[in-house]
Amino acid sequence: MGTLAHPHSPTRPVRALPIGGLTFLCSLGTGVLWNALYFIAASEYGFTERDSLMLALINGILYTAVAVNAGRTVRFLERRMSPRGALAVVLVAQALLAPLVLVPNIAMLWFAAVVMTALGALQWPIVQHYLASGRHGAEMRNAIGWWNASWMAATALGLAAAGPLQAAGLMQWAIPSLLPINLLALVFLARFPAHPVAHDVDEHARHVPPTYRSLLGAARVLHPMGYLVIGALSPILPYLFQALGTADGLQAPIGATWHVARVVAVIVLWRTAFWHGRGATLVVAGLLLSLGFTAAVAAPNEATLIIGLASLGLGQGAIYYSAIYYGLAVGAAEVDAGGIHEALVGAGYFLGPALGLVSIAAGAGTPVFIGLVLGALIVGFVVSVLRAGRASSHSKA
């Protein structure tokens, strides 16, 4: 019986509590870094919309470059340390960098933001490797379900918690909070084995039907589209709120609407089995994503903005769950599979801001910006539907 992993792998996958606890804490920090960063940049450093989009663009490019090479990087590091050791280095480095944003210097904000982003791009493929290795079929879907719910709930809380800080004029303390958060995450990391459990080749083949490859291809087209929308929307949310006259203390909680909706979507997919092996799930998710983005960016009032964000979150959650499940299932739970998954996250994060910068450079307004993003979504949606069409509508996995 063949296996795929380090020769000193344990016999059982990582238990739910250690990996769930670490994921929740790290994602709480990610929610602050990736979302509150733009509120901090605007309120504390006077960033313009163009400045925020440029910061998002650079972060996305760097995240993609590091994530796509995550497997290669981990194999290089394994000559010197275990995957658990590499995760410890990442957590400690992020903790030490977080307080640097308190230095009243824009260059320091840029430095801390981009380096912490790069470290996160290495962190998550390793965590996903631990999560999926040794798990197959329904067991893998279940593990990905509670793991998704854990990190998505944490990012929503991270952004919502920024509201009181913003109202109190203490937003600059949001990112330094990663220092104690990451140190606490090390407590959960101590319960990880040095290496993930071996991934059984025979079980892998039995639980991954040929249809999964077509569905993976479809999901991997829509996956960056989801983050393209988030990458385009997150940097300009503060300015949408300004236009609507939203109170400072309500901006971050309303901005968390799509995070909450995304958690709802993954919980539904986690607790059901109707969706896997079916291309229709991805089609509906793509429509929700597109309609939600349009409603949010063109919202004439806060109610429409909330509806748009909720629709966007439902679509993005379904796309994310599908992409990571098919990716880790077909990719045999390897770091490379997680790295590609995270690289596509980064690709979306830099494509969205890039379209925003193009519309600003052309002197165009919101309608042109919406048109550019929707144009990219339509192209991605058509390609995804064509790919999903190759898969059977029923899978016995």
Reported as a single tens digit per residue, the pLDDT across 382-397 is 888 777 766 544 444 4
pLDDT for residue 254 is more than 60: yes
In the numeric block, which tokens belong to residue 367? Answer: 């309608």
| 13-22, 161-170, 295-304, range with the lowest pLDDT | 161-170
Average pLDDT over residues 296-325: 92
| pTM value surpassing 0.95 | no
Name the residue among 310, 228, 316 with its Cα closest to residue 266. Answer: 316
Directed axis angle between helix 70-77 and helix 335-361, to 10°? 130
If one compares 61 and 173, the residue with the highest pLDDT of the two is: 61
In a domain, 328, yes or no: yes
Q: What is the pLDDT of residue 394?
A: 45
Burial of residue 339 (number of CB atoms within 10 Å: 0-12, 13-18, 19+): buried
Provide Rg for the chain, Cα atoms: 20
Q: What is the pLDDT of residue 85?
A: 92
Domain count, the chain: 1
Average pLDDT over residues 300-304: 92
Q: What is the pLDDT of residue 393?
A: 46
The answer to whether 125 touches 71, Cβ cutoff 8 Å, is yes
In the numeric block, which tokens belong to residue 368? Answer: 């042109």
Reported as a single tens digit per residue, the pLDDT across 354-366 is 888 888 877 766 6
In a domain, 71, yes or no: yes
Distances in Å between the Cα of 72 and the Cα atoms of 131, 312, 326, 332 are: 19, 34, 21, 16
Beta strands in the chain (DSSP E): 3-4, 199-200
Percent of the chain with pLDDT over 90: 19
Name the residue among 327, 114, 76 with its Cα closest to residue 208. Answer: 327
Q: What is the pLDDT of residue 11?
A: 58
| 40-49, 70-79, 328-337, range with the lowest pLDDT | 328-337
Q: What is the pLDDT of residue 265?
A: 93
Q: What is the pLDDT of residue 46?
A: 84
Q: What is the pLDDT of residue 204?
A: 58
In a domain, 397, yes or no: no
Q: What is the pLDDT of residue 2?
A: 37
pLDDT for residue 7 is more than 70: no
In a domain, 159, yes or no: yes
In a domain, 7, yes or no: no
Average pLDDT over residues 201-212: 67
Confidence of residue 311 (pLDDT cuts 50, 70, 90): very high
The answer to whether 337 touches 331, Cβ cutoff 8 Å, is yes
pLDDT for residue 294 is more than 80: yes
In a domain, 84, yes or no: yes
In a domain, 246, yes or no: yes
Q: What span, in angstroms and rounded, lies between the C-alpha atoms of 192 and 170?
A: 35
Q: What is the CATH number of the domain that holds 298?
A: 1.20.1250.20
pLDDT for residue 200 is more than 90: no
Q: What is the pLDDT of residue 5?
A: 46
In a domain, 3, yes or no: no
What is the extent of the structural domain holding 312? 13-388
